[in-house]
A and B are shown apart, each in its own frame.
Chain A
Amino acid sequence: MPTGIEPTREESARKARERIDVRLRPEQKSLIEKAAHIKGLTLTDFIIQNAVENAKQAIRENETWTLERPDAELFAAALAATPSLGPQLTQAARRYKERYLER
């Protein structure tokens, strides 16, 4: 999906001038190096690709969260059921109302 913020190859070369200095534990670094090696990527490319993908997903999820089958079923079944309160919510709501709404 084009986002309008993905640079072309030439733009990447030209604009990749920002730096991030990150401190991490030695075992974290060797883990990332190992994974980058498996994927055939440089450490830098591996970190950037993963961080950018994670960032996009976090933003997407912040806006719209898509329920796949098991969760959509769970949610729809809950909506179809007649709601009833258990003792915990009933009592907690009563405590709250006594303290904050009925004064």
Chain B
Amino acid sequence: MSTDLEPKYYFEPLGETHDRAAFSCGVEALDRYFQGDPVRQDVSRRVTNAFVMTPNGRRVAGFYTLSPISILSVDLPANLARKLPTRPIGATLIGRMGRDQSLRGKGIGEMLLMDALHKAWQASKLVSCWAVVVDAKEGARDFYLKNEFTAFVTRPERLFLLMKKIELMFE
């Protein structure tokens, strides 16, 4: 993996100066979401927060979105039921993540994920959060498995990483 790309990139919340139309990760659904109105509508309605990785405040090397999700466990055997509250617990969802396809193989995806995990960890110090959950779009599942996420059984494109593990990364 090349290490020469950074530190020329930095992360910031998605704003009006970012050239969303020029961004393409190659996954049509993600591109439609990010290039067009949906991402801006989601952010303005506070459905999700979006962050971009950029070299200059205009060009977008990659982006990801964070939103809250609640997880409710039902039907647990007694020995495991003690481990989980019967109420829904909070988690952070990485709903979408993409890096520009011209920047493949530069470790951008890894840094996007690290920044998302770092923000989720910081937020967990204020608002309780048990895990980071991702919805892996086509081809991205292996990336999350490599990064030590665990896939759910009934919905294998959804994966999780426990906050107590993320804590070990940043403490």
Residues in chain A within 8 A of chain B (CB atoms): 62-80, 83-86, 88-90, 92-93, 95-97, 99-101, 103
Contacts and interface: CB of A to CB of B under 8 A. Distances in A.
Given A79-B130, A88-B148, A95-B114, A65 B80 contact: no
Contacts, number: 121
Interface residues of B, number: 47
A97 B169 CA distance: 9
B7 A79 contact: no
Main secondary structure of the interface of A (DSSP, over half): helix
Contacts of A101: 118
A84 B107 contact: no
Nearest to A103: B7
Contact of A96 (B115, B131, B146, B164): B115
Contact of A92 (B6, B114, B167): B114
A98 to B, nearest CB: 9
A62 B75 contact: no
Contacts of A68: 74-75, 154
A100 to B, nearest CB: 7
Contact of B6 (A70, A76, A99): A99
B2 to A, nearest CB: 12
B162 A78 contact: yes
